[in-house]
Amino acid sequence: EVAPDALDRGLGIVRRNYEATASRGRITPADVEKRMALIQGTTDWTAIADADIVIEAVFEEMPIKKEVFAKLDAIAKPDAVLATNTSTLDVNEIASATRRPESVIGTHFFSPANVMRLLENVRGARSSKTTVATAMAVGRRIGKVPVLVGVCYGFVGNRMLHQRGLQAEKLILEGALPHQVDKVLTDFGFPMGPFAMGDLAGLDVGWRIRKGRGVKSPVADRICELGRFGQKTGAGYFRYDKGDRTPIPDPDVEKIITEVAAEQSIVRRHIGDEEIRERLLYPMVNEGAKILEEKIAIRASDIDVIWVYGYGWPVYRGGPMFWADAIGLRALRDRMLALKKQTGDAFWTPAPLLDRLADAGKGFLGG
């Protein structure tokens, strides 16, 4: 860590997480002490000089990432693997800050990392086979489900999630409300919807990323400008009673939504659950098709593993690509074309792979 107080705070959170696990009987109090004894905190960069693998987890800002990797490159031993926990940034650009890009790889742990099992390992253009194999082996050894993906904005999971997020924001401007949108996805089988998930992760994370990319999200930005970052501040898209994580619909947020809609001359209307479901999930499948065609993911089942283990996709629905096969790619493609005609929005253009498979009567997973 950069400062002793931040280090103490971080170690305190680790201890509390272990103690919470012990209170549920999953480990013993002795296990808590044993595990804490294995963790050494430091603010001294030279402490990593003998490490076999170093995983960076600083803010999602490229200049900071590159500064850290330049320092790691100067201190770490020659055969050390240098990994970044970035969730969206270009691993190749991060690697360019070092003299050993072959040793750099993305290891995207999912939040909360002590609970979520998915590990998106992001191979850079110059990541060596040894580096890739090491990241995959370490992932398995620490009980994660590692999936190998390529470099693009958001990799696989967040790139698909971004498409869902675009529609979620449009839906609330056009007439739906956050709790309605979320309920459609919890009814589908997700543990939470996009707005409650944003509150859990921290709305300031996305805000910081958007500002870095020069992108705006009118409703989310306005909520963040009020200091409402989600559960950690007691309010985000929803409000939260102290000590309770139950999202409570907030009239103040509804007011922000209606104001932004009016500013954009959007006439709000009733939106049914089926339209919400299609507009949230179909773009994800379409983006998955692009990801496969671009070889960012090796196979459709890898995309499904990412969504089941990292984003709470209901297991019994098999993942987005399996689900799309089950409902029929032709029906999905045709509905997208209908939405494109209805809205005039190129967003609904089917991916070439989706188009070809639909025409051939095939699926992403064969057959």
Q: Which residues are catalytic, by number?
A: 108
List all residues 6 or more positions away from 145 whose beta carbon is below 8 Å from its beta carbon.
117, 118, 119, 139, 305, 309
Buried-state track 31-66, b at ≥16 Cβ within 10 A, e below 16: ebeebeeeeeeeeeeeebeeeebbbbeeebeeeebb
DSSP 65-97: HHHHHHHHHHHS-TT-EEEE--SSS-HHHHHTT
Length of the chain: 367
At 107 the three-state DSSP class reads: strand
Name the phi and psi angles at 160, rounded to 5. -70, -40
CA angle 51, 28, 25 (to 5 degrees): 120
Pick from 145, 68, 69: nearest CA to 109:
145
List all residues 6 or more positions away from 234 whose beta carbon is below 8 Å from its beta carbon.
240, 242
